[in-house]
Amino acid sequence: MTTRSETQSTLTHLLTEIEHRNPAQPEFHQAAHEVLETLAPVVAARPEYAEPGLIERLVEPERQVIFRVPWQDDQGRVHVNRGFRVEFNSALGPYKGGLRFHPSVNLGVIKFLGFEQIFKNALTGLGIGGGKGGSDFDPHGRSDAEVMRFCQSFMTELYRHIGEHTDVPAGDIGVGGREIGYLFGQYRRITNRWEAGVLTGKGQGWGGSLIRPEATGYGNVLFAAAMLRERGEDLEGQTAVVSGSGNVAIYTIEKLTALGANAITCSDSSGYVVDEKGIDLDLLKQIKEVERGRVDAYAERRGASARFVAGGSVWDVPADLALPSATQNELTEADAETLIRNGVKAVSEGANMPTTPEAVHLLQKAGVAFGPGKAANAGGVAVSALEMAQNHARTAWTAQRVEEELAAIMTSIHTTCHETAERYDAPGDYVTGANIAGFERVADAMLAQGVI
């Protein structure tokens, strides 16, 4: 039987190969390291996972699509962006994962997101594979007409690679209801099919699901609450710092407030706001969702309880809970030191890989409950899968039913991660629990389906 040290040596060699075969993709390297460095115990215990090159296949996408996206702005100038879709693993079901429109998007970012999505989707138990896509297009400051022309051009290439039984994209950073609408319209136009299940995050009047916009933020708060319950606490009366001011952050704040916590921050690229009375959701939604403005406008209009801090770090604000809900690697080792010094009890990731590996290590060493994104923010993709189920049945569920399903899924994910960590002698380590539990589900399916 292979020892744990021999297995770790094999995995370390594989990580070196990943870096060699995927140069200049630091985000993907980071995601692969974060998962593979926790797998030695399970591979040592179940050597069948090592024999058919299973892990080597797992870290190599089944398909990577890169294409140009030409479009005209309102002045008639032609722009050319780059589009991506990485279909990473379909052992459990059709590829499922969002589209991100942001200048930072490149192949390495999409591969990191797609790799994370494999395990996140597996943890939901809903039969969906992992994928991700997007473009380096920036919708910020663009007119609706420009966004429509870009989306139509993007879908003109993407449509041939997706379908409700093949690959089902959704939204992510820069892709909300407006963009999904334009993308779906072009897909319908090209294919001559009303295939509602090809995209999720649709409008509620044409195939979308209630609670989908709220799901990632709601789910993250539910996961944080479950971690606190393990420690004999609840959210009532806790102070929370939240980063970001997009969809995930807004509904994280909403659910925190509903469960009795006081969310006192939000942020964007210009800086952050601290509101000692608690974030006024109606005002924040007006500024970010309607006016598409910046968070400094919130402080100006909120009054004496709020202040805007240009630059700096939202993690400098003392709180019981921290919920990073913006983007990858936003919470650094120095930020973790500050949070620990200020007495943080739990950190739960609403964004994808927002905490650096060094910061994760510090938080865990300090005894802070840490919920990794692949578990804590799985609520969004879970409700996307529920939207697919509604589409297949040509029906629509009530908000209450969707929210009950979401709560049950997040409870199940927490239980699975917690019990798996204990099974592999890592009690309380949700990173190890999430990685191993997600891996086992995907690996068993891959073994059953042969070397493909």
Domain ranges of the chain: 4-59, 63-194, 215-376
Reported as a pLDDT band with limits 50, 70 and 90, residue 2 is low
Confidence of residue 6 (pLDDT cuts 50, 70, 90): confident
Q: Give how far the C-alpha of residue 432 lies from the chain's centroid of Cα atoms, to the nearest Å.
A: 18
Same fold, 63-194 and 215-376: yes
Query: Residue 340: what pLDDT?
Result: 98
* Helix then strand then coil, % of the chain, to nearest 5: 50, 15, 35
- What single-letter amino acid sits at 313? S
Q: What's the confidence (pLDDT) of residue 1? A: 54
pLDDT in tens, 215-261: 999 999 999 999 999 999 999 999 999 999 999 999 999 999 999 99
**pLDDT above 70: residue 208:** yes
Say if domain 215-376 classifies as CATH 3.40.50.720.
yes
DSSP letters for 330-354: -B-HHHHHHHHHTT--EEE-SSSS-
Give the span between the Cα atoms of 275 and 214, in whole angstroms: 22
Asked if pLDDT for residue 302 goes beyond 80, the answer is yes
- φ and ψ at residue 218, rounded to 5 degrees: -60, -50
User: How does pLDDT run across 343-376, given as a tens digit for each residue?
Assistant: 999 999 999 999 999 999 999 999 999 999 999 9
Looking at residue 51, its pLDDT comes to 87
pLDDT for the residue numbered 3: 74
Give the pLDDT mean for 310-331.
96
| Three-state secondary structure readout of 362-373 | HHHHCCCEEECH
pTM of the shown model: 0.94
Q: pLDDT tens digits for 43-71?
A: 999 999 988 999 999 999 999 999 999 99
Predicted confidence at residue 21, as pLDDT, reads 97
63-194 is a CATH 3.40.50.10860 domain: yes
Task: Give, rounded to a whole angstrom, the gap between the first and last alpha carbons of the chain.
Answer: 26
User: Which residues are designated catalytic?
Assistant: 132
